[in-house]
């Protein structure tokens, strides 16, 4: 009798605790993904963008988006809105694989049947030769947040990370914590300008305090067309999937991001040939879609050879990001590049 009463008390207490915890999670709704939660003015607060950005992608306030890795994160939606029109969300995620970018694009497209403009930043993720597609990084990727149902998210929300992010979201809602990202997904992730040190940047780029010329091969590699045709870029099928989700009226702008020129493969090397083959194939894919353009900023230019434009080999400054938006707009209109800062790739 005593044991029966004990277990009943225990089970009722456990059920009550679960209801209380579940109720708090539902009210705070840290990822804005639970059905019927209160319409608070939440924002993206998870340290891992893969948990926060599905909600940004579904937000009907945005009719345009940036897709990519951290090399496209500095494109500010406010600047994009003025340049292209519409309302942009920046959905570029740190180290996002091609698969992860494809999944996030799928979420965005389901919520926006006819987006106005989509910008896709292309970097090494899209030009890696490998036998099998790399789907994930070391960061957790919550597949359950990327499907069409919100109801299957409920049980997953009882994981520890949800409580951690719920605490951040609750602190934000109560005005006790600043937003990690804006509602449009944008955040300037670079250090303050006051911390900028050109000597340190050059140390990162060149491995020493002084600029160096690129080493050119005295005998460039000779790779035949047969070998090049055998190279497999598994990410390319995903790019085709991404572009096919959007109607012809959607402006699709793809751009190779501007790595610092010293970090770009030297002409004549095998790596350079691989990049050229990758660029050719991606341009061929883009050319099959209406209203699509592909621009190449990963070239030698006044932009990519100016050390003070960069924080490291891949990440450019906020000022350069604003310039890049203007250049992308020019290239998308098929206008010549000022000072040769980009190439408009010829689909032929």
pLDDT in tens, 177-210: 888 889 999 999 999 999 999 999 999 999 999 9
Residue 98 lies in a domain: yes
Question: Which pLDDT value is given to residue 5?
Answer: 66
User: Can you list the alpha helix ranges (DSSP code H) found in 112-197?
Assistant: 153-156, 160-173
Residue 157 lies in a domain: no
Residue 31 lies in a domain: no
343 Rama sector, left if φ>0, alpha if ψ -120 to 50, beta otherwise = beta
Report whether 77 contacts 130 (CB < 8 A).
no
Residue 30 lies in a domain: no
Residue 206 lies in a domain: yes
Residue 128 lies in a domain: yes
- How many independent structural domains does the chain possess? 1
Residue 242 lies in a domain: yes
Query: What's the length of the chain?
Result: 348
Report whether 269 contacts 221 (CB < 8 A).
yes
Residue 314 burial (CB < 10 Å; 0-12/13-18/19+)? middle
Pairing mode of beta strands 64-67, 88-90: parallel
- CATH number for the domain spanning 331: value is 3.40.50.1110
Task: Give the residue-averaged pLDDT of 59-76.
Answer: 97
The continuous run of DSSP H or E covering 14 comes out as helix 2-28
Residue 16 lies in a domain: no
Confidence check: pLDDT of 336 > 70: yes
Cα 232–chain centre separation: 23
Placement of tokens 């359950």 in the chain:
144
CA 42 – CA 242 distance, rounded (Å): 28
Percent of the chain surpassing pLDDT 70: 88
Q: Look up the pTM and report it.
A: 0.91
Question: Which pLDDT value is given to residue 218?
Answer: 63
Nearest to 84 by CA among 249, 251, 245: 251
282-335: pLDDT as tens digits: 999 999 999 999 999 999 999 999 999 999 999 999 999 999 999 999 999 999
125-166: pLDDT as tens digits: 999 999 888 999 999 999 999 998 887 877 777 665 677 787
Contacts of 120 (CB under 8 A, 6+ apart): 66, 67, 68, 101, 239, 242, 252, 253, 254, 255
Q: Residue 213 belongs to what domain range?
A: 47-149+183-344
Nearest to 260 by CA among 212, 194, 192: 212
Task: Give the residue-averaged pLDDT of 72-101.
Answer: 97
Strands of the sheet containing 343-344, edge to edge, are 88-90, 64-67, 117-122, 251-256, 292-296, 343-344
Q: Which residue has the higher pLDDT, 327 or 222?
A: 327
Report whether 246 contacts 118 (CB < 8 A).
yes
């Amino acid at each position: 009798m005593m044991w029966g009463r004990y277990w009943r008390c225990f089970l009722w207490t456990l059920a009550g605790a679960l209801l209380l915890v579940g109720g708090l999670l539902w009210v705070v709704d840290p990822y804005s993904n639970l059905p019927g939660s209160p319409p608070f003015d939440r924002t993206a607060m998870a340290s891992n963008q893969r948990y926060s950005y599905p909600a940004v992608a579904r937000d009907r306030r945005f009719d345009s988006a940036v897709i990519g890795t951290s090399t496209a994160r500095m494109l500010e939606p406010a600047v994009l809105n003025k340049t292209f029109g519409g309302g942009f969300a920046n959905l570029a995620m740190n180290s996002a694989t091609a698969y992860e970018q494809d999944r996030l694009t799928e979420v965005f497209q389901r919520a926006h049947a006819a987006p106005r403009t989509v910008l896709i930043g292309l970097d090494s993720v899209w030009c890696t030769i490998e036998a099998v597609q790399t789907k994930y990084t070391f960061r957790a990727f919550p597949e359950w947040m990327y499907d069409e149902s919100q109801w299957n998210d409920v049980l997953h929300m009882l994981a520890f990370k949800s409580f951690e992010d719920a605490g951040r979201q609750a602190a934000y809602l109560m005005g006790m914590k600043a937003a990690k990202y804006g509602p449009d997904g944008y955040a300037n992730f670079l250090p303050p300008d006051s911390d900028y040190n050109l000597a340190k940047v050059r140390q990162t780029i060149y491995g020493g305090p002084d600029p160096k010329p690129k080493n050119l091969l005295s005998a460039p590699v000779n790779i035949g067309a047969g070998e090049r045709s055998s190279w497999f870029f598994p990410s390319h099928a995903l790019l085709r999937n991404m572009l096919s989700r959007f109607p012809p009226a959607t402006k699709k702008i793809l751009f190779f991001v501007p790595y610092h020129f010293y970090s770009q493969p030297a002409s004549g090397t095998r790596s350079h040939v691989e990049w050229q083959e990758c660029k050719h194939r991606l341009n061929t894919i883009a050319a099959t879609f209406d209203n699509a353009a592909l621009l190449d900023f990963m070239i030698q230019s006044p932009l990519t050879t100016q050390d003070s434009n960069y924080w490291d080999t891949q990440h450019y400054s906020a000022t350069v990001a604003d310039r890049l938006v203007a250049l992308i707009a020019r290239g998308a209109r098929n206008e010549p590049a000022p000072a040769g800062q980009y190439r408009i790739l010829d689909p032929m």
